[in-house]
Amino acid sequence: MEKSSSCGFEGLVVWQKAHQFVLDVYKKTKLYPKEELFGLTSQYRRAAVSIAANIAEGYGKKGLNDKLRFYNISEGSINECRYYIILSRDLEYVNVADSESLYTELTTVQKLLFSYSQTIKRNSLSPNPQLQTPNSQLQTPNS
């Protein structure tokens, strides 16, 4: 999941997927009614950005509890976005296929975030964290 510590949070697959989700939310919400600009559109975008931003911020924290606190905030924003996907579909701002696609993306981010958080917890208990990180988690999809 982490390419290397020198490439920063951008090397995290979970951040890359969260960032792509943000871009997709922005594309979809561009088509929302103008009267939603300061309502649902703004809230949905803010929550989506919060997912990726808190992953990035947590990555930069040194202490385990600090890291996990930011990842927990991301988890809350994931659940908030999940509701906005449902609401957008029910208001017919997006079609069923688009809502399912966004939902699938979001579920992937949630699973990756859970896995990454678990790996960090496990590594914090190990005297040599390098030995416990599977190679598959050290590569980005483009590697």
Can you give the CATH number for the domain in which 55 is found?
1.20.1440.60
Domain assignment present for residue 107? The answer is: yes
- Summarize pLDDT for 12-38 with one digit per residue, the tens: 999 999 999 999 999 999 999 999 999
Task: Identify the band that residue 131 occupies on the pLDDT scale cut at 50, 70 and 90.
Answer: very low
Is the residue at 110 inside a domain?
Answer: yes
Residue 62 is assigned to a structural domain of this protein: yes
Residue 130 — very low, low, confident or very high, per pLDDT cuts 50/70/90? low
Above pLDDT 90, what percent of the chain? 79
pLDDT at 7: 79
Q: Decide if 143 is inside a domain.
A: no
Domain assignment of residue 88, yes or no: yes
Is 131 domain-assigned? yes
DSSP the chain: ----GGGGGGG-HHHHHHHHHHHHHHHHHTTS-GGGTTTHHHHHHHHHHHHHHHHHHHHT--SHHHHHHHHHHHHHHHHHHHHHHHHHHHTTSS-HHHHHHHHHHHHHHHHHHHHHHHHHHHHHHSS-GGGGS-GGGS--TT-
Structural domain tally of the chain? 1
Model pLDDT for residues 25-72, shown as the tens digit of each residue: 999 999 999 999 999 999 999 999 999 999 999 999 999 999 999 999
125 found inside a domain: yes
Range of the domain at 108: 5-137
